[in-house]
Amino acid sequence: MRAAYAEGRPIPEELARQAALAGDREGMTVYGIGLGNRGAYPEALHWLGKAVDAGDLTALVVLGTLHLDLGDPAEAERHFRKAADRGHPGARIALRELRARRNGAGH
């Protein structure tokens, strides 16, 4: 599971669920992503929050994206900022894009 996560390979949701339930932070992130993709937003927020609490920076970016998709750009920016402050390059890009959108320069 960890090697697939690190390499960006697909991970079956059931494997991610099992890893999440066992306390694996990457499993929590992947499971949260799968839940969000299925529209199970409260559960996705729960698992992504647990992954963030366990120290997964990617989960912060995913949380920001999920909040953006749910129409809460302020909460999205909060998560992107935390991840960017900790050095996540994707979060820095997301912040720039969010600010450009807010300022009318985005798509």
10 Å Cβ neighbour count for 75? Answer: 15
The answer to whether the beta carbons of residues 34 and 14 sit under 8 Å apart is: no
pLDDT at residue 7, rounded to an integer: 75
pLDDT averaged per 10 residues in sequence order, the chain, 107 residues: 73 90 94 95 97 95 95 95 95 93 70
Query: Which letter does DSSP use for residue 72 in this model?
Result: -
Instruction: Give the SS3 label for residue 54.
Output: coil
How far lies 71's CA from each of 39, 75, 77, in Å? 14, 9, 12
Question: CB within 8 A of 10, min separation 6: which ones?
Answer: 4
Question: CB within 8 A of 26, min separation 6: which ones?
Answer: 1, 2, 5, 19, 51, 56
Q: Kindly report the pTM of this predicted structure.
A: 0.84
